Amino acid sequence: MPTETSRSAPEERLVNLVVALMATEQGLTKDTILSSVAGYREQGSAGASKDALEKMFERDKENLRSLGIPVETIGDYADPDDLREARYRIPTAEYELPADIEFTPAELAVLNLAGGVWSESSMSADARSGLRKIRALGIDVDAPIIGYSPRVNLREPAFAPMQRAIEQGRVVEFSYLKAGEESARVRRVQPYALIEYEARWHVYGFDLIQGDVRTFLLSRIVSDVAITRTSFDLALREGAGERALTGLAELAARQQALLEIAPGTEAALRLTRRATPADQGIRVPYVDVHIFADELASYGPEVRVVEPGELRDQVIARLERTLRVHGTGAGERS
């Protein structure tokens, strides 16, 4: 039975091709595509002839065009009709919204929720590998448009019962392990809304034990969600999602990390999309120091935390833990 590395599915090959063609303004030659884009590269390694690979590319190109994706062919600048060294690209301008379009806060909240269905992980490891190979050839590669391979993220087990409780207006109970604490505590909550923020699901509601509204990360619920018979006024749900998103955005605005990142790396691609320039690197807002530290540590030497000190310490602790597990040779910049 052929493995995925030896024979990529046509759908995945098309997605990888779209990512590659959208990532560069100057376009890619056919030879670059066949040697760098996953799906073609594996076929070539398995012994497929160049003629067969070129025919596969031509079919894929026409399939994309039939789907309404504008694959441009750029000929020689001196002789546009000479296609021997043609370059191919997908112009990102075809997907940009007009500058005069504005959204209300409610519309942005709906779009943000819908965006949770499209994950950055939709760009496969093979697609990212292809972009690195293309960049290594000295070809400028922009941050790709993420989301051309729709993938609905697997939700936490707490999602479905929490959703039922919100619809029924019922109080829930669950054990919640707060970051930095060793043991979970039982929470009793009136759940008003499920919201997606920074690719993570939260429940927003009134904590009956603390006597105040709270936002809980679903991934930190460590028990089954018990839906009680105690009900609450359904009118409390009105506008709850928008209030929760506003609160998280305000918290993120108050907590900003000053980072130095290595250009042309995965860290640069991902972090600069939500950052603002600073005199020393970039500033990136964040909500949860522990979750953000997990992300930054995953980039290894590609990122260095300048401030705040708490975040820096958390990243260093994770890198040191990785070093202890894997032995010497795992360097760190933070």
Q: Which CATH architecture fits 159-251?
A: Roll (2.30)
**Residue 178 binned pLDDT confidence (cut-offs 50, 70, 90):** confident
Whole-number pLDDT of residue 210: 92
Cβ proximity of 205 and 264 under 8 Å? no
Per-domain residue ranges of the chain:
10-136, 159-251, 255-326
Q: Is the pLDDT of residue 218 over 50?
A: yes
- When pLDDT is cut at 50, 70 and 90, the band that residue 154 belongs to is very low
Mean pLDDT of the chain: 77
pLDDT mean over 312-330: 79
> What residue has token string 């959204």?
103
* Calpha distance 264→11 (Å, rounded): 27
Between the CA of residue 301 and those of 113, 286, 305, what are the distances in Å?
Answer: 32, 20, 11
* pLDDT tens by residue, 55-77: 888 888 887 887 777 888 886 54
Mean pLDDT, to the nearest integer, of 132-137? 52
For position 28, what pLDDT does the model report? 86
Q: Within the chain, what is the greatest distance between any pair of CA atoms?
A: 76
